[in-house]
């Protein structure tokens, strides 16, 4: 089961009306050395300055980013290259990250290599510790910087810690 940890940054709350500005992904394995980073040109005139500020980029910078169709095709090729079988999308906030990645894949490539479902790292942790109020974030080693590759790696580190510390049976 090849897990791909994903984190995205956007300039607003929903895809289509707003844009995914960047995203990072890492194959969840013991090396965490297979990563992908995409910076995407906005697809809409609309943006929320406070949302964009989280990414650390200005609107002017984002207008020079790469064509979203090309980036999504490159991401699909990377996923195929680093995985065998159907990849599993997982993220810290899959409700948010998933809707952008899924929308962009379907809109720009016609299909989503992850299929139609995603997993949430926070929910996995809450289930394992049997406490809905607990957070896995203390298990990250890489700082949460809002650079999506850093954030994806930090979340993958936490996932690997969960697997080790709680004896999860999971083939990586």
Please report which confidence band the pLDDT of residue 84 belongs to, taking 50, 70 and 90 as the band edges. Answer: very high
Q: The pTM is what?
A: 0.96
Does residue 171 lie in a domain region? no
Does residue 112 lie in a domain region? yes
Q: Which helix (H) or strand (E) holds 26?
A: strand 20-27
Number of folded domains that form the chain = 1
Q: Of 82, 159, 153, which Cα lies nearest the Cα of 120? A: 159
pLDDT at residue 172, as a whole number:
67
Q: Which residues lie below 8 Å from residue 70, measured CB to CB, with a gap of 6+?
A: none
| CA 159 to chain centroid | 14
Structural domain boundaries, residue 137 = 3-165
Does the structure show a pLDDT above 90 at 168?
Answer: no
What proportion of the chain, given as a percentage, has pLDDT over 90?
94
Does residue 172 lie in a domain region? no
CATH number of the structural domain spanning residue 123: 3.30.420.10
């Amino acid at each position: 089961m090849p897990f791909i940890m994903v984190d995205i940054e956007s300039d607003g709350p929903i895809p289509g009306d707003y844009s995914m500005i960047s995203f990072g992904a890492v194959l969840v394995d013991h090396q965490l050395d297979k990563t992908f980073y995409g910076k995407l040109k906005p697809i809409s005139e609309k943006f929320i300055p406070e949302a964009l500020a989280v990414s650390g980029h200005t609107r002017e910078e984002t207008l020079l980013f790469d064509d979203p169709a090309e980036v999504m095709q490159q991401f699909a090729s990377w996923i195929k290259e680093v995985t065998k079988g159907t990849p599993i999308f997982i993220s810290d906030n899959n409700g948010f990250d998933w809707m952008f990645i899924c929308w962009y894949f379907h809109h720009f490539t016609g299909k989503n290599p992850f299929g139609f479902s995603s997993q949430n790292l926070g929910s996995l942790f809450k289930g394992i510790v049997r406490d809905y109020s607990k957070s896995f974030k203390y298990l990250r080693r890489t700082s949460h910087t809002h650079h999506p590759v850093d954030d994806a790696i930090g979340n993958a580190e936490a996932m690997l810690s969960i697997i080790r510390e709680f004896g999860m049976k999971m083939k990586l």
